[in-house]
Amino acid sequence: MKASRIIIAALLLLLALPAAAQKYACVNTDYVLKNIPDYANAQKRLDKYVEGWQAELVEKQAELDQMQAEYEQESYLLPDNLKKRRQEEIKAKAQAIRDLQQQRFGAGGDLDKKRAELLKPVQDRVYAMIERVANEKNYAFVFDKAGSPTVLFANKKYDISNEVLELLGHKPGATPEPEPETKAKRPANPEMRSPDRRQNARNMPARGQNNNARK
């Protein structure tokens, strides 16, 4: 709500400026990126990495579950010193899984690095073309329709999305531009969105740790 009030206040301020200073435009970066084959290919490559990392975590979690199950079946036969050793091994395995999750999907981890490597170059080209159009046409502001739920209507006359695509050497309209939304349903930024499976991998519980706590 606070961000929306700030944006609305900024728009009201624009309306109060002289007509010559009110020149603005909008762009749909989601639509632009979806019409760039390089971006779609980069996203597919990123998804492949994510799938591999998830499979790695699933495999290690299965190993932990097996260790825990075997310990529970055998613990009543084990002397105290062996019980303690097995418990420490299970605890270390659970910690290793948590560390791997953080390495793959945590802030500044492998996912962020791969996203920057694969997607950011295309995004930078798009933003450079947006800046070029804005400078050439003397736009004071360019609003992103894909990212702001407060943009409830935008006249196509002031939409520079297709101009940006043409400057990038791509034909507009391969993927139709969505109609403006009247409710705040869309995520803040297309490149920051992660598939549900990616989020699930971040939140994957280390079940062995919980079992140890009961012990």
Residue-level pLDDT at 47: 97
> Domain coordinates of the chain in residue numbers?
2-214
Round the average pLDDT of the chain to a whole number and report it: 76
Residue-level pLDDT at 53: 97
Residue-level pLDDT at 49: 97
Q: What is the 3-state secondary structure (H, E, C) of the chain?
A: CHHHHHHHHHHHHHHHCCHHHCCEEEECHHHHHHCCHHHHHHHHHHHHHHHHHHHHHHHHHHHHHHHHHHHHHHHHHCCHHHHHHHHHHHHHHHHHHHHHHHHHHCCCCHHHHHHHHHCHHHHHHHHHHHHHHHHHCCCCEEEECCCCCCCCCCCHHHECHHHHHHHCCCCCCCCCCCCCCCCCCCCCCHHHCCCHHHHHHHCCCCHHHHHHHHC
pLDDT above 70 for 212: no
pLDDT above 90 for 43: yes
pLDDT in tens, 61-119: 999 999 999 999 998 889 999 999 999 999 999 999 999 999 999 999 999 999 999 99
Q: Which band of pLDDT confidence, cut at 50, 70 and 90, is reported for residue 186? A: very low
Mean pLDDT of 180-187: 43
Mean pLDDT of 160-187: 64
